[in-house]
Amino acid sequence: DLMQQENSKQLPEFNAFEQDIKDEQLEEDTALDIGVKAEEDSIDFYRKAGTECQDERGCEIFRWLEDFEKKHLKQLRQREKKL
């Protein structure tokens, strides 16, 4: 009987706890990817703004922001390596 054959097939084991952990890791990976991209874009923006600004004080702020974002990007990349 076809129904008995279908019912006799073994279903794959599913561990909800393990799946939750995998889902959290995927979510963290995705968040890190988004964060890295945002930091890279910010660094590029601040670098460009720092070279194009007319006011030296404004240029200093853009350079500071660029350095700040570089430090944050380094932290995100270190976190990525740990995953």
Residue that wins the pLDDT comparison between 43 and 8: 43
| Closest of 38, 18, 40 to residue 30, by C-alpha | 38
CA torsion sign for 64, 69, 74, 78 is positive
Half-sphere exposure of 12 (CA within 13 A, CB side): 3
C-beta neighbour count of 56 within 10 angstroms: 8
Q: What does the domain layout of the chain look like in residue ranges?
A: 27-83
Instruction: Encode pLDDT of 1-10 as tens digits.
Output: 454 545 555 5
Amino acid sitting at position 24: E
Q: Which two tokens stand for residue 45?
A: 């923006």
What does the pLDDT look like over 12-23, one tens digit per residue?
A: 565 555 555 555
Looking at residue 24, what is its pLDDT? 64
